[in-house]
Amino acid sequence: ESATAFGYLMSDMWLGEFDCVSPEVFRSALGARYPTFSERTQQDAQEFLICVLNELHEALKKVRAQLWPGPGSETSIITQLFEGQLSYDITCLECKTTTDKPEIFTVLSLPIPSESTCSLQDCLKCFFQQDKLTWNNQIHCSWCGTKQDAAVKATIAKAPQIVIFHLKRFEWQGNYKKKLLTDICYPLSNLDLSPYSYPLFHKNSEYSLCAVVNHSGLLDGGHYTAFCKHSVTKNWYSFDDSQITKIPNSSVQTEAAYLLFY
């Protein structure tokens, strides 16, 4: 199964016996579960990542339940590392009643507020700003008994150990989908999420970048590469198919960034 294939892939990578390793066995195993990824066409890295995390979580959860049945058997190393929780405060604009709606996340998909240049903080501010729900998006207010306009604002209620940001470079404009080539400036360290978190989590709200997935090219054709930071030496490396090269910190900032891991 795909979880076993992933385990073998990780072993091959960390043992260091090869200059490079092929993920083909793992890709084939995952493709058997998700036929979209068995095709030799470009697929979305964010969608692939979510499928991988879900697949690993389900497999590891079963093992955990067998070894340690009872409370906590629904968790796995995946949820422990990557799972966070948002809290949506939804306020009825008629009666001013506020309700809380929790939502679990593993990847935060951030809008890009500019087509030229912006910062990751700009994307975060855009995601966490208060929004208004009107017309077809109205909520049903239990106090008013009818549909009403509402204000909604998200806050991080539980921050994960590793935060994954998906930069929404692909968007619909009318009937056409386009790629935003915005140059997004993101910090390599000291990313502060406290402005978007409950005060309880402020002390653990600073993050350092550990990996980047880049996408070059356009919608129907392109190329994915990755930058990864060595957890021991703290050096950065570029992974481009079979080519693995050490890169300076200054090269980690790229306008092709698509997924950021903190």
Per-residue pLDDT reduced to its tens digit, 14-27? 898 888 899 999 99
- φ, ψ at 200 (rounded to 5°): -60, -30
**pLDDT by residue (tens digit) across 27-65?**
999 999 999 888 877 889 999 999 999 999 999 998 888
Per the domain annotation, does 35 fall within a domain? yes
Q: Any residues with CB less than 8 A from the CB of 133 and at least 6 apart, and which?
A: 90, 139, 149, 150, 151, 152
Q: Are residues 125 and 78 in the same domain?
A: no
Q: Can you give the CATH number for the domain in which 262 is found? A: 3.90.70.10
Per the domain annotation, does 137 fall within a domain? no
Is the pTM for the entire model greater than 0.75?
yes
Q: Are residues 123 and 229 in the same domain?
A: yes
**pLDDT by residue (tens digit) across 76-124?**
999 999 999 999 999 999 999 999 999 999 999 999 999 899 999 999 9
Q: Are residues 50 and 126 in the same domain?
A: no
Per the domain annotation, does 150 fall within a domain? no
pLDDT for res 30: 93
Q: Are residues 113 and 72 in the same domain?
A: no
Q: Are residues 109 and 186 in the same domain?
A: yes
Identify which of 160, 165, 259, 169 has the alpha carbon closest to the alpha carbon of residue 212.
Answer: 259
Domain count, the chain: 2
Per the domain annotation, does 97 fall within a domain? no
Q: Are residues 114 and 220 in the same domain?
A: yes
pLDDT for res 202: 59
Residue 147: pLDDT above 90? yes
**pLDDT by residue (tens digit) across 230-262?**
999 999 999 999 999 999 999 999 999 999 999
Greatest C-alpha distance within the chain: 66
Q: Which domain holds residue 76?
A: 1-82
Q: Are residues 123 and 213 in the same domain?
A: yes
Mean pLDDT of the chain: 93
Q: Are residues 183 and 237 in the same domain?
A: yes
Q: Any residues with CB less than 8 A from the CB of 118 and at least 6 apart, and which?
A: 112, 182, 183, 184, 185
Helix (H, G, I), strand (E, B) or coil at 236: strand
Per the domain annotation, does 214 fall within a domain? yes
Total residue count of the chain as it appears in this document: 262
CA angle 184, 189, 192 (to 5 degrees): 80
pLDDT for res 201: 63
Residue 200: pLDDT above 80? no
Per the domain annotation, does 144 fall within a domain? no
How sure is the predictor about 203, in pLDDT bands with cuts at 50, 70 and 90? low
Per the domain annotation, does 146 fall within a domain? no
pLDDT for res 150: 98
Q: Are residues 78 and 110 in the same domain?
A: no
Q: Are residues 197 and 74 in the same domain?
A: no
- Mean pLDDT, residues 172-200 taken together: 90
Residue 205: pLDDT above 80? no
Per the domain annotation, does 173 fall within a domain? yes
Q: Are residues 124 and 241 in the same domain?
A: yes
Q: Are residues 70 and 179 in the same domain?
A: no
Q: Any residues with CB less than 8 A from the CB of 95 and at least 6 apart, and which?
A: 141, 143, 144, 148
